[in-house]
Amino acid sequence: MKNSKEINPRDGNTESPWQSVISSVSDATRVIAETDAFEVIIIGAGITGLTTALLLQKAGKKCLVLEAGKAGFGTTGGTSAHLNTFFDATYPEIESDFGLHAAKEVADSGKEAMSIIASLVKEYEIDCDLEYKDGYLFSENKKETGQLREILEASRRAGIAVTEAENNDLPVPFDMAIRFSHQGQFHPLKYVNGLIAAFQELGGTVLEDCFVTEHKEVDNSLEVVAGGRSFYAEQLVYATHMPPGITAFSFRCAPYRSYVLGLRLKDKSGNYPTGLVYDMQEPYHYFRTHVVDGEPLLIVGGEDHKTGHDDPEQAFANLEKYARQYYQIESVEYRWSSQYYIPVDGLPYIGRLAASKRNIYIATGFNGNGMMFGTISGKVISDQILGVENRYGDLYAPSRLKPVAGFSEFVKENADVAWHFVADRFGAEDMDKFSELKKGEGKIVEFKGEQLAVYKDQQGKVTALSPVCTHAGCFVNFNAAEQSWDCPCHGGRFDTSGKVICGPPRKDLRWVDL
């Protein structure tokens, strides 16, 4: 594992290769004027928030970005940074649930996201390792091959350039492979820093370490409370995955964690894949190469599971075992995980919140395609705020009603939430002394008749918290890899001191005095 001196913080304990690039928010913007009035406030300085902010500021709006940590603190700092025009929701699924026209629109929105990134990189001379590559998807058995043929045909019908391929760019045996042209990759935090620089140059303001605790809709304006101060704006954008509070999106999006390894290979001469490669296993694996510190790094990801459900350390172990089947690995340089949300009907929710007074916007449910949907969110939301018709507005509308698409997923996910709400309240192990707890370990225990989330740090100090998530009352689970308390219901996450590191909760876990 790397042990860099200074890294950009992230919402977890593991380190991604991107974190050696430190947020470029300039000191001057950490102090802002007394007036504190803006036209648009954007919450979250990841790719979604910063793309939205830059496009709006460029169009003449006065924008403020509020970030709870540092820029890229959330999923943007932990992405594997694939740029694709095919998505985790496949074109056959989209065509079947939403129709061919919608599938074409999704394909076009992917291409548009790709060109937005390219044009911002060019216009603002962002040095972010942007490269275009082929993308390969391959099957390993007859059943997968049947599905792959459907993906090939439906992708073509949607207007995506894809052909059958003779290889899969990996030493993994395959049955059939297809190749998508003009896919891409970049360094996400270098890109984010480029967006920040351009945004600030245009007069935009970014405030980091500024956790938003509340917003109030007041007449035609909004008051946003963060870091003990109030800021005012006409429009508000939640670029935080989940909007805060218990909303419809808590029930329409399921939180997942994805695992990634950064590996150096023994064979330095060229065993690294040249493209972006994906298998079709459930959960799937993906591969790409990125030059980090002057040497190629094999990035292998997968073993995704619902947040708070499986053992993260086991997921890392499975991923490493899988990679070692095909590669001679010299060292595991990085291992990290991050969170994303799967929408029940497969498509993201982007745009104006119908429940607001028409001035609050959200972008969530990006599945595993956050770089693309985060970018297109910036375009859709900035167009809507500027009063410009956006052709994807209806397709991705948060208020869309598709009772058939995703209905069974909706039922399954919410049954799972209900189950956790009840079942996790039983079966906590009795503990009468904390000497049984290992250093770095967290557990839900019953102590003197009270259920507690207890954690012992590396110095042996025990912290006790209420395990009741402050969002909607589910019990949190300990994530040993990230040293966090993760909620299995809607993906709220807390650090070991109980502080919120990932919404939708806004309040920290309650401290219990032992």
Q: Which helix (H) or strand (E) holds 138?
A: strand 131-139
179 vs 490, beta carbon nearer ligand FES: 490
Smallest distance from the beta carbon of 356 to ligand FES, in angstroms? 20
Check binding of 505 to ligand FES (CB under 6 A). Answer: yes
Closer to ligand FES at the Cβ: 385 or 502? 502
Q: How far is the CB of 514 from ligand FES (least distance, A)?
A: 24
Is residue 32 within 8 A of residue 226, CB to CB? The reply is: no
C-beta of 470: minimal distance to ligand FES in Å? Answer: 8
In the complex, least distance from residue 453 CB atom to ligand FES, rounded to whole angstroms: 12
Nearer to ligand FES, 222 or 474 (CB): 474
Question: Count residues contacting ligand FES (CB under 6 A)?
Answer: 12
The helix/strand/coil state of 312 is: helix
To the nearest whole angstrom, how small is the minimum distance from the Cβ of residue 472 to ligand FES?
Answer: 4
Of 234, 250, 233, 232, the closest CA to residue 242 belongs to 250
Length of the chain counted residue by residue: 514
Nearer of residues 171 and 473 to ligand FES, judged by Cβ: 473
504 contacts ligand FES (rule: CB under 6 A): yes
Residue matched to tokens 């963060």: 226
**Least distance in angstroms from the C-beta of 186 to ligand FES:** 31
85 CB-near residues (< 8 Å, 6+ apart):
107, 110, 111, 114, 160, 180, 182, 183, 372
* Interface with ligand FES in residues 280-309 (CB under 6 A): none
Name the strand (E) or helix (H) holding 149.
Answer: helix 142-158
**Tokens read off for 290:** 């990125």
- CA atoms of 298 and 305, how far apart (whole Å): 22
For ligand FES, the binding residues in 461-500 under the rule CB under 6 A are 469, 471-474, 487, 489-492
* Closer to ligand FES by Cβ: residue 203 or 473: 473
Select 245 or 393, whichever has its Cβ closest to ligand FES: 245
3-state SS record for 263-298 = EEECCCCCCCCCCEEECCCCCCEEEEEEEECCEEEE
Minimum Å gap between C-beta 425 and ligand FES is 13
For residues 42 and 487, which CB has a smaller minimum distance to ligand FES in the complex? Answer: 487
Phi and psi, residue 270, nearest 5°: 145, 25
Residues 22-61 vs ligand FES: string with x where CB under 6 A? ----------------------------------------
| Helix or strand holding residue 444 (H, E) | strand 442-447
Token representation of residue 191: 């890109």
If the CB atoms of residues 110 and 243 are measured against ligand FES, the closer one turns out to be 243
Asked if residue 453 binds ligand FES (CB under 6 A), the reply is no
Other CB atoms within 10 Å distance of the CB of residue 162: 22
Binding site for ligand FES (CB under 6 A): 469, 471-474, 487, 489-492, 504-505
